[in-house]
Amino acid sequence: MSVAGMGTAAGQARPAGRLPRLIAPDGPLELAEHIDRYGPVPFRDALADFGDGSLISEVEAADLRGRGGAGFPAGRKMRAVARAGRRAGPLRSPVGTAVIANGAESEPASIKDRTLLARAPHLVLDGIALASEAVGASRAYLCVHDSDDQLTGTLSAAISARDRAGMNRVPIQLLTIGGSYVASQETALISMINGGGGKPAFVPPRPSDKGVRGRPTLVQNVETLAHLALIARYGAEWFGALGAGAGSALVTVGGTVHRPGVYEIAVGTPVGELLRQAGGPTEAPQAILAGGYFGGWIRYSDALDVPVSDPALRAAGASLGPGIVMLVPASACGLAETARVVGYLAEQSAGQCGPCFNGLPALADAFWQLAFGRADRATHGWASQLLTLVAGRGACHLPDGTAALAASALRVFGDELYQHAAAGPCPRVRRPGVLPVPGYPGGRA
Amino acid sequence: MSRRSGRSGLRVNPVACEAHGICIELLPELIRSDPWGYPLIRPGPVPEQLLPLAKKAVAACPTLALLLTRDD
């Protein structure tokens, strides 16, 4: 049975309002079942065409945003890579571009990418194939963490099945990477593939100009590519029929809820509704951390009506990031939770940029003092000063993200700062950490 | 682009910078030291009269970490 290359988009009618879109409840589907359910991969056989009817213009029309944390418009990135590939081409034989699917999520609080890859591998692989065609890629890479042998097994079996069915027009190479927080940053992935140290690099050159082996390179999160695979089949209008145009999103819900896990919601679903889906609080709630460890805190009572979308969460002092909502109970100290995470993030510095490898440990020390030691005015002042000293001064966003989290803790946990300053650390600092921090009691999610 | 249309700005490549501090010596008007000796650049364009000094600071950096950018 030939399943590939059926020409134009299948265009089957699919109910737009129904969730889940990405992760079939009866998944993971074998390749044949997957094709049965979603239709063949709608290659357009129109590499050179960026205009109306091309996948890139469809993705732009859908205004699909990257789901790896930064939220950059996916279509704009694709267009930049496709254009740069054209520029590089005519002089010699066409060199082609490259596509990297980033599934190496290193946020300790996030499991949505590995869940998607385990439960819907072929949707992500469809997205890689389609994005590769759209930007004229001659090679593609799927990057995942090296910690999960079962997942790598599933993925390499899925890739082989597609090889046998003749569906991999562009070869897809599965790569595993190590555990450091910054190793999954896009320039770090490119450095690793190029045989470098796998650390973030200074930009420019942008990956879209010069990435894998000097080729223009598209780096997209795996969830972004799964959405792209559905947009290619059902169109931009279908995508935007949910979430007031923004579609659906995978969100990892964790902390003190009855059913922690990955939930697919329409973007804009209120935080309170998402927490209800996750079974609600297991004990008296205090605050949520939205957006992961580069995100921000919102008091529980202020959070319930906030829509889970990046603009709304930003207006409330947090962000969507890679889709993370952690519920922290009243029995925990927000300063202690933040201090442990800031300590972890400081240890993740690749040691390349002075303001990062000096500033983050200093910030971690100051936060440790505020949470567990002497929270005097001088320490508070030094912590605030460090926030402005580190932000924006690294090759990657580790210093900015850490500063954002720390700043939000100083804003939201002002009462706690005052109490710690007046009477020393509160008894709640002795509660085991709620936020997962590798290397601390509680450990990984 | 005409030479006057673009405005110049200073940028540090933080991976290359090793805190030699020469730029801080040469251009204190726009660059000061952070607590660890790394350059903090005053945001915004480089004023016309400081351009020669800025170019000197760029050329003097032993690790080529200071960059003069133009947004035309």
Q: Is the pLDDT of residue A47 over 60?
A: no
Q: Is residue B69 part of a domain?
A: no
Q: Are the beta carbons of A80 and A208 closer than 8 angstroms?
A: yes
CATH topology assigned to domain A334-430:
de novo design (two linked rop proteins) (1.20.1440)
Closest Cβ–Cβ partner in B14, B16, B19 for A394:
B14
Q: Is B45 among the domain residues?
A: yes
Q: Is the pLDDT of residue A445 over 90?
A: no
**Count of CB atoms within 10 A of residue A262's CB?**
22
- Does B68 contact A at CB distance below 8 Å? no
> Rounded to a whole number, what is the distance in Å from the CA of B54 to chain A's nearest CA?
20
The CATH number of whichever domain residue B57 belongs to comes to 3.30.70.20
Q: Where in chain A is the domain with CATH 1.20.1440.230?
A: 334-430
pLDDT tens across A273-290, in order? 999 999 999 999 999 999
CA distance A337 to A182: 21
Model pTM score: 0.93
Are residues A352 and B36, on separate chains, in Cβ contact within 8 Å?
Answer: no
Of A202, A362, A389, the CB nearest to B14: A202
CATH class of A244-329: alpha beta
Structural domain including B35 reads 13-64
In a domain, B17, yes or no: yes
CATH 3.40.50.11540 fits domain A31-241: yes
Helix (H) or strand (E) holding A59: helix A55-62
Of chain B residues 26-65, which have a CB less than 8 A from chain A? 34-38, 40
For an interface test with A, the pick among B10, B11, B12, B15 (most A C-beta atoms closer than 10 Å) comes out as B15
Q: What is the ipTM of this complex?
A: 0.91
How many domains are there within chain B?
Answer: 1
Per-residue pLDDT of A91-131, as tens digits, reads: 555 678 999 999 999 999 999 999 999 999 999 999 999 99
User: CB-CB: which of A201, A354, A359 is closest to B17?
Assistant: A354
Tokens (6 digits) for A283 = 């004990």
Higher-confidence residue of A27 and A239: namely A239
State the pLDDT at residue A16. 72
Residue showing tokens 């804009």: A268
Q: CATH 3.40.50.11540 in chain A: give the residue spans.
A: 31-241
pLDDT at A9 over 60: no
Average pLDDT estimate for A65-71: 95
- Whether A194 shows a pLDDT value over 50: the answer reads yes
Domain-embedded: residue B19: yes
* Token pair in block for residue A252: 């990892």
CATH 3.10.20.600 occupies which residues in chain A? 244-329
Which residues of chain B are under the pLDDT cut of 50? 1-5
